[in-house]
Amino acid sequence: VGADIENLVNEGAILAARRSKKVVEQIDLEEAIERVIAGPERKSRLINEEEKRIIAYHEAGHAIVANSIPEADPVHKVSITSRGMAGGYTIMLPEEDRTLMSRKKLNADMVGLLGGRAAESIVFDDITSGASNDLERVTKMARAMVTRLGMSSELGPMVYGQKEELIFLGREISEQRDYSEDVAKQIDKEVRKIVSEAYEHAVSIIIEYRDKLDSVAQRLLEVETITRDEFEEIFPTPVPKNSGTPEPQTAMPQMA
Amino acid sequence: VGADIENLVNEGAILAARRSKKVVEQIDLEEAIERVIAGPERKSRLINEEEKRIIAYHEAGHAIVANSIPEADPVHKVSITSRGMAGGYTIMLPEEDRTLMSRKKLNADMVGLLGGRAAESIVFDDITSGASNDLERVTKMARAMVTRLGMSSELGPMVYGQKEELIFLGREISEQRDYSEDVAKQIDKEVRKIVSEAYEHAVSIIIEYRDKLDSVAQRLLEVETITRDEFEEIFPTPVPKNSGTPEPQTAMPQMA
Amino acid sequence: VGADIENLVNEGAILAARRSKKVVEQIDLEEAIERVIAGPERKSRLINEEEKRIIAYHEAGHAIVANSIPEADPVHKVSITSRGMAGGYTIMLPEEDRTLMSRKKLNADMVGLLGGRAAESIVFDDITSGASNDLERVTKMARAMVTRLGMSSELGPMVYGQKEELIFLGREISEQRDYSEDVAKQIDKEVRKIVSEAYEHAVSIIIEYRDKLDSVAQRLLEVETITRDEFEEIFPTPVPKNSGTPEPQTAMPQMA
Amino acid sequence: VGADIENLVNEGAILAARRSKKVVEQIDLEEAIERVIAGPERKSRLINEEEKRIIAYHEAGHAIVANSIPEADPVHKVSITSRGMAGGYTIMLPEEDRTLMSRKKLNADMVGLLGGRAAESIVFDDITSGASNDLERVTKMARAMVTRLGMSSELGPMVYGQKEELIFLGREISEQRDYSEDVAKQIDKEVRKIVSEAYEHAVSIIIEYRDKLDSVAQRLLEVETITRDEFEEIFPTPVPKNSGTPEPQTAMPQMA
Amino acid sequence: VGADIENLVNEGAILAARRSKKVVEQIDLEEAIERVIAGPERKSRLINEEEKRIIAYHEAGHAIVANSIPEADPVHKVSITSRGMAGGYTIMLPEEDRTLMSRKKLNADMVGLLGGRAAESIVFDDITSGASNDLERVTKMARAMVTRLGMSSELGPMVYGQKEELIFLGREISEQRDYSEDVAKQIDKEVRKIVSEAYEHAVSIIIEYRDKLDSVAQRLLEVETITRDEFEEIFPTPVPKNSGTPEPQTAMPQMA
Amino acid sequence: VGADIENLVNEGAILAARRSKKVVEQIDLEEAIERVIAGPERKSRLINEEEKRIIAYHEAGHAIVANSIPEADPVHKVSITSRGMAGGYTIMLPEEDRTLMSRKKLNADMVGLLGGRAAESIVFDDITSGASNDLERVTKMARAMVTRLGMSSELGPMVYGQKEELIFLGREISEQRDYSEDVAKQIDKEVRKIVSEAYEHAVSIIIEYRDKLDSVAQRLLEVETITRDEFEEIFPTPVPKNSGTPEPQTAMPQMA
């Protein structure tokens, strides 16, 4: 359940990995990246066959969904090898470093994160604890859109709650509520709506490409790890991909 | 009231016990496991006959209910020997280690946990403090399903509340509320519903197999401890058991 | 106002006293128990006659009520001798040690605890601060029934609030609220209902046995302390007593 | 504004003073008591004539009201000598030590405490900050009646809120709220009602004995301090006084 | 914006200054007082002409309003010299020391404090951050009247909230809320009403004496500082002044 | 996205820079100011072309909007050079130092701060995380207007919440709520209204001067940095500018 991985990837580990290229040149870079972002491989951890199948579908779900949304980053690798705390992982890498996140890009990432849970739900008619980290990240992103980035038209271009950076014997309180119960209710409603729409989007993609999902999951159970090339052979990107960085709606006039 | 035991079992003690197999090979493994998960036997603790009867029915309730639900783990041992703080204990062991918990498996475990209280209620027309640890665990599981695992369709695939890991002179605050009163009310309603349905399920099983419950309780009062074999002789599993790990709803296509 | 005493008795001091029997064999056991559970006798503390009368009726109230409820423990001693912080005390002793508390037993104990206040109210047409410890204990028991022991059908078989065991420079926070305002209101209503019914029960017993109450109070003013034998001579138990431990509703079948 | 004084008096300073009688035998006991309970006399503190008049009426108000309620303790001394932080003080002493406080006695004390503010209001058509300590004490007593002593029939014979005894670098938190908003509202309503009725009672007494109030205030401005004898000469107790300790409603039967 | 100054003045600096008279006899007392209560003069701080004009009107507003209310203390000095953090200051001195604050006096002081903001609003059709300290003090006074001094008939003669004096690494929490949301709403309403009425009073005085306001502000811009004599020459007190200490409504009878 | 810069500028860095003129005389002052207020230039930070375009429009948005409001400070420099954490920055400098902030000036500054987000929204049909610091500052200003500066007629000339200056191992709690839920709701409504009106104002300016926005953004992409002269050549101030300091509505009378 590659959530831990994606977490690290999106929060800068890739960047760190790239910057350390010169340092790591002599060793296998690919392994270095994964070690950095997913912890050491844990060959000793035995996961039974039934659970392997769920993990395979979960990771395949992330990959299939991400590959079907224009703004999501390309799938770099999908694996059901156990690394660190995760039973599997999916790595998505942007073509270029990014310093800004747009509303559309954030929505795309949330749909991708919910692809694992959506796949479980469609395939198994049950859902597991394996998505808990994905759900935490989706919730955090949706809350940030509404309360820190002014991306909900209901709540407007302002922030809600005061961020506190208290390092008090290891505790970090991330937010102090400074708004009324009414606003809290509006925030909850908006966050819930953003997450629900992302989940419905993920489910619809899983249903549309169910056969590809089965193929990727089956392949993962056979070979454990699929790279970008093999993944795109099984499931060629069905949409024109873009970086998720907004472009002007009209052509820019040239200055004399 | 084997709640403390079950608690430890489910939270990894079994795993720990298994991993330490090589270490404990020479001594009686069975005793080692129980010592690890339930504390030393307390022969000196005198419990009167009336209470022994309640404990016997309580433990028998756990065992009868767990044995009647497909996803619950097999009953390994039932005992009214006093160990640690518990007056008795019921050990359920999975056939294989587990890293994922599905919604159905969680529901099954909750029904099993409420089997003790359900048995007391049916047999004695009164209920005792002996179930308090069971209730704590059931509540914690139901809350986790709703707030951390996205398993309530009412609340959706997201998390509620921020987990805090503050080790502040021994205190651990498990959750910081970051939602409105309205959402708090919805959460309470969902959690209550999950627990109520599990309890009603437990009660219906107890009523259906009341004669087996009497038999197991009576046997416990005679011999104090019943192992899996003797338990299944008195009460053969009435349902096809499974591991509780979800399986695909349709056959998986084979890749070329 | 024997609340402090009863408090210690019910919370294990009796048990402690019993276990230390071997140790205390040579000295007067009866005095040892009372010294342990009620502090040293305070002959120097002068209480005026008007207050002595109130204390006598308060303690007699506890004794009369407890003696009229099947599940309440037998009255061992009633006294208006000042001990520790208490102006008087009533000791009720179970026939056997107890590790489980049933709903009926808890209700019985609450009625007994409210017997002091009920007696004051009926006899003096005023009430005093002497019952404050009784009220604290009754409230704590009723809350525990509803929030920790799943004994309210309104709130169901689950727990409310998270117990915290924080020893932080001497402070112990007993509970962290994790439920909505709506649930808080339901809890308050249930707790209030349990306490009110117990108080009304106590009042009805005081009214029914008012003559015995007068006799016991009068006797206390004459001799300061009444033992079980003398108490039962004045007021023979009007109900069949039982241990308060639930018994099966139907005969238990015998296993072959 | 003798609130600080009365505070100490009621909370045990008198008791302390009495117990230390043997110790202080050789010195002027009267002065010792006042020094203990009101701090050293502050001759240097200059209070202007306008304020002296307000203080005189405020203290006279306490004395007149207390002397007109059966359950209030007898007025021992009234003074407008500045002591400690107080501009004046009124000492009321019970005839005998007291360990129990009844509802009627508490109500009587609250009426006496509000006598100062009532006098200001009637005489000056304005009110001053001089009553702030009186108001704090009245509020604390009314809250205790409702939340700790079970003396409100609306809230019933139970306690509300958990007392905490936290000594954390000098802080003492007196109460942790453990009830719903609805109960908080009921408590506020009851407390407000108890205080309002006490204040209306105080005002009606001030109006009834306005001439005596003028006389006592005038005398205070002339001689600064009035003892019990002189006070009762100006204003003989208009009601039969009692100790405030409840008495049985009917004669007590004699045991054979 | 002499709020900081007034703050210190009212909270005891004047008193301190007076008591230290013997000590400071040899130096210029006037300068000593101002240095104590307003910090050292800051000649180096350059304030532009536009802002000087606003400050002049703000200070003149305090002085004009205070001089038009019977219970406000006489204006001792008005200045637009920058001292400490303040751009200007107005000193009002009572004729005699005061230990009691009446409701009328508190209302008078609040109107005076709001005179600065009222003047800005009338003269400039805009308002500035210069009044922030005035607003803080007015709010604190109005809240104290309602919650600590029992001066709101809506809330009655009692206190709301528990004052805490916690010195915890420099923090002082001034109040712990112990009342319901309903009472919080009533308190807010009363406080708001008291402040609004005071502000409307200030505005009406500014409108009535607009010509005097212009004269004083103009004079301040010319000479920077105006003493009591010059101020009263420009604007003779239009009302009979008093100390603000309540006087009896009727003549006091003489004792024989 | 020059929010960090503007932040420092408005909060006193400019002032600091000016005072240190004598110290820095020998070095390039312009560079010194920018180093002080925006951190060192970060040539090594590579930002891709798509993001550069968004940053250019964002900064141009600040500049165009600020230049179209009378009370906003003149645009001193606009740049898309990466400095510190910011991808670009816009410096606005007042003609003279300022110690007072009026309501109109605060509103003007908020419109300018929202110019970046407004430009993104109009040009790209998407919005980015680049405005988060702008939104934080706008929210803080609007809240201060309502709760600390008495600039909302709905909430009146008073403060809401108690500022706390607690330096507790690095934590600063900025406000303790002391008002009811009703007032919290009113505050939220007012703050939201102030921000919404400012944003709508910014959007309308961006739409009106869209061609100038394109020109400035294009020029920034060509030369990275534009100074005041070049900026005003492209977009001459379309409104009469003022300092934002209120002026009297009527001529001031002259004193004799």
Provide, rounded to the nearest whole percent, the portion of chain C with pLDDT above 90. Answer: 59
Widest distance between CA atoms in chain E: 68
Strand partners for E78: E90, E226
Check residues C10 and B251 and name the one with the higher pLDDT.
Answer: B251
Q: Are A114 and A134 in contact (CB under 8 A)?
A: yes
Active centre residues of F (catalytic) = 59
- Over its C-alpha atoms, chain A yields an Rg (Å, rounded) of 19
Interchain pair B129, C100: CB under 8 A: yes
Mean pLDDT of A198-214: 98
User: What is residue F127's three-state secondary structure?
Assistant: coil
pLDDT reading at B171 higher than 80: no
- Residue type (1 letter), D29: L
- Whether residue D123 contacts residue D207, with contact meaning beta carbons closer than 8 Å, is answered with no
Residue C29 C-alpha, separation from nearest chain D C-alpha, in angstroms: 30
Check pLDDT > 50 for residue B3. Answer: no
Q: Are E214 and E61 in contact (CB under 8 A)?
A: no
Give the integer Cα–Cα distance in Å for A109 and A142.
11
Q: Alpha-carbon distance B119 to C170, whole Å?
A: 41
Identify which of B96, B103, B178 has the shortest CB distance to residue A48.
B96
- E100/D54 touch (CB, cutoff 8 Å), yes or no: yes
Tokens of B130: 């002996």
Residue B93 burial by Cβ neighbours in a 10 Å radius (0-12, 13-18, 19+) = middle
List Cα–Cα distances, D101 to D40, D113, E80, in angstroms: 30, 16, 60
Q: pLDDT tens for residues C209-246?
A: 999 999 999 999 999 999 999 999 999 999 999 988 99
% of chain A surpassing 70 pLDDT = 74
Residue B38: the pLDDT is 58
Check CB contact under 8 Å for B100 and A130.
Answer: yes
Strand partners, E227: E77
pLDDT band at B30 (very low <50, low <70, confident <90, very high): low
Cα four-point dihedral sign E123, E124, E126, E129: negative
Q: How far apart are CA A66 and CA C126, in angstroms?
A: 75
Mutant choice from A15, A21, A73, A100 vs F, greatest count of F C-beta within 10 A: A100
Lowest mean pLDDT: which of B177-186, C142-151, C165-174, E147-156?
Answer: C165-174
Reported as a single tens digit per residue, the pLDDT across B208-229 is: 999 999 999 999 999 999 999 9
Residue B206 has pLDDT above 80, yes or no: yes
Q: Is the pLDDT of residue A4 over 50?
A: no
Residues 6+ apart with CB under 8 A from E27: none
- Residue in E123, E125, E188 closest to F179 by CB: E188
Which residue of D158, D166, D179 is in closest CB contact with C195? D158
CB pairs under 8 A between E and F: 131
Which of A34, A59, A120, A190 is catalytic? The answer is A59
Q: Residues B6, B34, B50, B59: which is the catalytic one?
A: B59
Ordered strands of the A89-92 beta sheet: A89-92, A75-79, A225-227
pLDDT of residue E229: 95
Assigned token pair, D60: 């006279």
Under-50 pLDDT residues of chain D: 1-29, 165-173, 254-256
Of the candidates F67, F108, F68, F71, the residue with the CA atom closest to the CA atom of residue F90: F67
pLDDT at E17 over 50: no
* Confidence (pLDDT) at A3: 40
Sheet with strand C89-92: strands edge to edge: C89-92, C75-79, C225-227
Evaluate if residue C53 carries a pLDDT over 60. yes
Q: What integer pLDDT is reported at residue E116 of this predicted model?
A: 97
Helix axes E115-124, E210-223, angle to 10 degrees: 100
Q: How confident is the model at residue E46 (pLDDT cuts 50, 70, 90)?
A: confident
Instruction: Name the token pair of F180.
Output: 């009811």
What SS3 class is residue C101?
A: coil
* Phi, psi (deg, nearest 5) at residue E18: -65, -45
Tell me, what amino acid is at E224?
E
Question: Which residue in the set F117, F173, F211 is minimally distant from A157, CB to CB?
Answer: F117
Distance CA E59, CA E43 (A): 18
* Run of H or E residues at D228: helix D228-234
The pTM for the full model equals: 0.87
pLDDT digits (tens, 9 = 90+) for C60-71: 999 999 999 999
- Which residues make beta-bridge pairs with D86? D83
Residue type for position D75: V
C-beta separation of E66 from E198 below 8 A: no
| Residue of chain B whose alpha carbon sits nearest to that of A222 | B255
pLDDT attached to residue F22:
37
Contacting partners of chain B (3+ CB pairs under 8 A): A, C
Q: Could you say which DSSP state residue C9 is in?
A: I
Q: How far is C63 from chain B (nearest CA, A)?
A: 25
Question: What kind and span of H or E run contains B132?
Answer: helix B132-147
Task: Give phi and psi for E186, each to the nearest 5.
Answer: -65, -40
D92: phi then psi, degrees, rounded to nearest 5: -115, 130
Cα separation, A62 vs A65, whole angstroms: 5
Q: Is pLDDT above 60 for C6?
A: no
Element (H, E) at F75: strand F75-79
Q: Consecutive 10-residue runs of chain F (256 residues): their mean pLDDT?
A: 37 40 41 58 74 96 97 93 80 84 95 97 94 93 95 95 55 68 97 98 98 97 95 96 87 49
CA F157 to chain centre: 25
Mean pLDDT of chain A: 82
- Single out the residue of F110, F105, F180 nearest to residue F143, CA to CA: F110
Which of F128, F131, F181 is closest, CB to CB, to A181? F181
| Candidate list E6, E34, E51, E59, residue with the active-site label | E59
CA–CA distance, E18 with D86 (Å, rounded to integer): 21
- What is the chain F residue with the closest CA to E139? F158
Contact between chains at A150 and F143 (C-beta distance less than 8 A): no
Q: What is the mean pLDDT of chain C?
A: 82
Closest CA to A206 of A57, A52, A4, A50: A57
- pLDDT above 80: residue A8: no
Please give the mean pLDDT across all residues of chain E. Answer: 82
- C21, C97, C99, C185, best to mutate vs chain B, most B CBs in 10 Å: C99
Section B92-106 average pLDDT: 88
Residue of chain A whose Cα is closest to the Cα of B141? A129
- Condensed to tens digits (0 to 9), the pLDDT of residues C162-183 reads 765 444 444 444 567 889 999 9
Query: What residues contact C5, with CB distance under 8 A and at least 6 apart?
Result: C37, C38, C83, C86, C89, C90, C91
- Mark whether C and D touch (3+ CB pairs within 8 Å): yes
Strand ranges in chain E using DSSP code E only, listed in sequence order: 75-79, 89-92, 225-227
For residue range E222-246, list pLDDT tens digits in order: 999 999 999 999 999 999 999 889 9
- Element of type H or E holding E124: helix E115-124
